[in-house]
């Protein structure tokens, strides 16, 4: 993806362009994957009930073509250029004038900026490319969880295995640290889940949070986990308090924890070692 002939500055520019394209695809994943899961669950429920699943048209990450949800206008290639098309259309559907949410170009820009940061920080290397993959997946998980309070196994489990695979060669951490990180990441939040349930009699988080922290442990190692848990917990508490004060939300209203884990994981990717030195004794 990044030929050795590219100097670092050119590699960062290429990463930005590729990141915009990936960000456009991430918008498709964020929108369609939860709907794909719902269709699968309906089919499974129908089978368990002894019914014939509904014969629905194909719906996946490739088909049908993207269309305006308000009028069904098929999005053309020129209308699907990352960021540029949204600006040219002034955030409106060309056919019916319905508003196109600003989140679409925001996700595309996030894909570009995170890729540029990864290549700038790690260089045009296998490590930089792997970091891009991790960050792009975290973006998808963040927005899906914010929308649906779901962290799909279709993303968290491949992310976990990818982390272990990448660290077979010690790209980010030694393999032993990655394996311990995956185990500890799952068990930490699993323990919190059951402790909360025993004390309060209700669930405080979902199993997807366990799997996401396990995946981050597989990528970044066990030493990064305390920092990730601390950063995500503080961010979640602050946002929860602000929502309670500003929007008068009930303290019992569930909030997705995945976005805070993802943000904390992204921070740990870049500053994990100095962060770990703050709470782990030196040699």
Rounded Cα–Cα distance for residues 161 and 210 (Å): 14
Please give the torsion angle defined by the CA atoms of residues 104, 109, 111 and 117, in that order, rounded to the nearest 10 degrees: -160
Give yes or no for a cis peptide into 64 (omega within 30° of 0): yes
User: Are 160 and 182 in contact, with CB atoms under 8 Å apart?
Assistant: yes
* Per-residue model confidence (pLDDT) at position 72: 87
The region of weakest confidence among 2-16, 91-105, 115-129, 257-271 is: 2-16
Q: Which residues pair with 269 in a beta bridge?
A: none
Question: What pLDDT is recorded for position 1?
Answer: 45
Q: What is the Cα 72 distance to its own chain's centre?
A: 28
pLDDT at 215 over 90: yes
Which pLDDT score, from 0 to 100, does residue 248 have? 65
Name residue 99's beta-bridge partners. Answer: 92
CA distance 236 to 205: 12
Question: Virtual CA dihedral for 267, 279, 165, 161, nearest 10 degrees?
Answer: -80
Residue 276: band (very low, low, confident or very high) from pLDDT cuts 50, 70, 90: confident
Closest-CA residue to 189 (of 220, 157, 226, 150)? 226
pLDDT digits (tens, 9 = 90+) for 169-196: 999 999 999 999 999 999 999 988 888 7
pLDDT tens for each residue of 60-113:
999 998 888 888 899 998 899 999 999 999 999 999 999 999 999 999 999 999
For 105, the token pair is 């170009």
Q: What is the mean pLDDT of residues 147-161?
A: 96
Q: Please state the rounded mean pLDDT for residues 125-138.
A: 97
> Can you tell me the distance from the alpha carbon of 63 to that of 281, in angstroms, rounded to the nearest whole number?
53
Residue 259 CA to its chain's centroid (Å): 7
Q: Which residues contact 244 (CB under 8 A, 6 or more apart)?
A: 250, 251
Q: Which residue has the higher pLDDT, 247 or 126?
A: 126
Percent of the chain whose pLDDT exceeds 90: 64
Threshold 0.85, pTM exceeds = yes
DSSP β-bridge partners for residue 52 = none
């Amino acid at each position: 993806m990044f030929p050795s002939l590219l100097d670092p500055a050119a590699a960062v520019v290429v990463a930005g362009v590729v990141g915009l394209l990936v960000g456009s695809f991430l918008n498709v994943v964020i929108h369609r994957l939860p709907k794909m899961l719902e269709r699968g669950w309906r089919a499974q429920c129908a089978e368990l009930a002894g019914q014939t699943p509904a014969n629905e048209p194909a719906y996946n990450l490739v088909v049908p073509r993207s269309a305006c949800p308000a009028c069904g206008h098929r999005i053309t290639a020129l209308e699907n250029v990352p960021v540029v098309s949204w600006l040219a259309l002034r955030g409106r559907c060309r056919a019916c004038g319905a508003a196109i949410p600003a989140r679409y170009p925001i996700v595309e820009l996030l894909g570009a900026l995170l890729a540029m940061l990864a290549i700038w920080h790690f260089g045009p290397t296998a490590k930089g490319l792997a970091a891009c993959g991790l960050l792009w997946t975290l973006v998808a998980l963040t927005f899906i969880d914010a929308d649906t309070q779901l962290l799909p196994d279709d993303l968290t489990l491949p992310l976990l295995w990818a982390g272990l695979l990448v660290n077979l060669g010690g790209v980010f951490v030694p393999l032993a640290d990655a394996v311990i990180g995956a185990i500890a990441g799952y068990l930490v939040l699993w323990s919190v889940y059951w402790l909360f349930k025993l004390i309060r009699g209700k669930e405080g988080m979902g199993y997807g949070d366990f799997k996401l922290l396990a995946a981050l442990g597989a990528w970044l190692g066990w030493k990064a986990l305390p920092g990730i848990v601390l950063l995500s917990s503080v961010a979640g508490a602050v946002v929860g308090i602000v929502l309670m004060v500003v929007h008068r939300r009930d303290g019992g209203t569930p909030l997705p924890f995945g976005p805070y884990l993802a943000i904390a994981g992204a921070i740990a990717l870049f500053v994990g070692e100095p962060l770990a030195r703050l709470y782990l004794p030196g040699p």
